[in-house]
């Protein structure tokens, strides 16, 4: 491991764009399937991992939703959350904001309390075990109706104090952000922070629509480079983009990491962060994403520090927590040998 690789792995960082359902490692998926009496199409972890060859976002989502079937009981949700937090801790993650989409499970009859109790119990245990600050982002599916999203908002009311924000993911094509204007207004009215996937496979107009929804962050957002006025607006309004480079590469959104727009967005003054999205599927947790980008885009150590600082500035935490995290980064940089 090079000194710069070690620096990247150890620097305190926040991860703001990671889907819990997309963090199930192949062996854990097989173990959960066996525990729950399910038969998957793959008999070994190697065979399952070999299936992670995607042509676009939809080809990934098809397999992703199939993997969701193994999560049934409270302990299943606990185990997946705990496994991710253990791995994130190894990457220097001290703040994790974790997406979770209950609609994949409620439609199969899994109770909302089963999911929430398992996830939140693991988050509490992770805080004690690793001193990692983790929080839950409830994500609605954009391929469903706005009425479905509003119903989800009602379902999570009992856990209002444990949900840090509301997001939205899923297939972009044909599902523009404007479809959910009333939903995001309702989220804001209830005091939730908000974020939405836009500009991954969708065009720059989707990023513009996301901006007009008044969200606090935009997930992916990289197609904004097709609209220079939009890039300026994002930079001036300091709207963070939670970028997922290895995901973009593996889903054929970009032809290579060397052609990824991360550095161009940084140079344009956009507040970008680096995240893993669905790490086992795309062969990289947050440190692997940063290391791969450093090599492909020739990022400097100062660039890495900027991205780490950006991650905490974009997090849904208090100003005092941001200040503490930035001080920890400064101390790490000063003392790194």
List domains and CATH numbers for the chain. 3-335 (3.20.20.140)
Active site residue 200: yes
Structure-token pair, residue 90: 């190894």
Mean pLDDT of the chain: 97
**Burial grade of 267 (CB within 10 A; 0-12, 13-18, 19 or more):** exposed
Q: What average pLDDT score do residues 98-113 get?
A: 96
| pLDDT for res 241 | 98
Is 162 within 8 Å of 136 (Cβ atoms)? yes
Q: What average pLDDT score do residues 88-99 get?
A: 98
DSSP states of 67-127: HGGG--SHHHHHHHHHHHHHHHHHTTEEEEEEEE-THHHHTTT--HHHHHHHHHHHHHHHH
Cα distances from 134 to residues 113, 127, 164, in angstroms, run 19, 7, 10
Q: What average pLDDT score do residues 326-337 get?
A: 95
| pLDDT for res 1 | 65
Indicate whether 194 pLDDT > 70: yes
Catalytic member of 97, 172, 200, 201: 200
Confidence bin at 61 (pLDDT 50/70/90):
confident
Euclidean distance between the first and final Cα of the chain, in Å? 14
Share of the chain above pLDDT 90, in %: 97
Sign of CA dihedral 81, 85, 88, 93: positive
Q: How does pLDDT run across 268-296, given as a tens digit for each residue?
A: 999 999 999 999 999 999 999 999 999 99
Nearest to 283 by CA among 245, 256, 309, 321: 245
Indicate whether 86 pLDDT > 90: yes
Q: Which residue has the tokens 């005091």?
A: 191
CA angle 194/13/11 to nearest 5° reads 170
Q: How does pLDDT run across 306-331, given as a tens digit for each residue?
A: 999 999 999 999 999 999 999 999 99
Confidence bin at 2 (pLDDT 50/70/90):
confident
Q: What average pLDDT score do residues 46-59 get?
A: 93
């Amino acid at each position: 491991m090079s000194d710069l690789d070690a620096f990247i792995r150890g620097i305190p960082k926040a991860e703001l764009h990671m889907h819990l359902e997309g963090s199930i490692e192949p062996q854990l998926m097989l173990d959960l399937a066996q525990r729950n009496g399910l038969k998957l199409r793959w008999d070994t972890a190697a065979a399952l991992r070999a299936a992670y060859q995607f042509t676009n976002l939809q080809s990934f989502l098809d397999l992703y939703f199939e993997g969701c079937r193994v999560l049934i009981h409270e302990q299943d949700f606990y185990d997946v959350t705990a496994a991710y937090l253990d791995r994130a801790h190894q990457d220097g993650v001290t703040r994790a904001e974790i997406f979770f989409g209950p609609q994949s499970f409620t439609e199969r009859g899994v109770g909302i309390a089963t999911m929430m109790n398992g996830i939140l119990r693991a988050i509490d245990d992770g805080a004690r075990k690793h001193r990692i600050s983790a929080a839950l982002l409830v994500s609605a599916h954009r391929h469903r109706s706005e009425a479905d999203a509003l119903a989800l908002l009602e379902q999570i009311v009992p856990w209002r104090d444990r949900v840090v924000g509301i997001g939205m993911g899923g297939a972009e094509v044909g599902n523009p952000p404007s479809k959910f204007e009333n939903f995001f207004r309702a989220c804001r009215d209830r005091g939730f922070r908000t974020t939405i996937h836009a500009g991954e496979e969708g065009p720059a107009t989707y990023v513009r629509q996301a901006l007009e929804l008044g969200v606090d962050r935009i997930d992916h957002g990289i197609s904004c480079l097709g609209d220079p006025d939009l890039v300026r607006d994002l930079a001036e309004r300091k709207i963070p983009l939670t970028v997922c480079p290895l995901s973009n590469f593996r889903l054929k959104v970009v032809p290579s990491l060397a052609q990824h727009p991360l550095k161009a967005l940084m140079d344009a003054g956009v507040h970008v962060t680096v995240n893993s999205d669905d790490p086992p599927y795309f062969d990289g947790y947050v440190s692997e994403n940063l290391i791969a980008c450093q090599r492909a885009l020739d990022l400097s150590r100062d660039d890495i520090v900027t991205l780490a600082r950006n991650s905490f500035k974009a997090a849904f935490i208090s100003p005092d927590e941001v200040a503490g995290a930035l001080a920890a980064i400064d101390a790490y940089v000063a003392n790194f040998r």
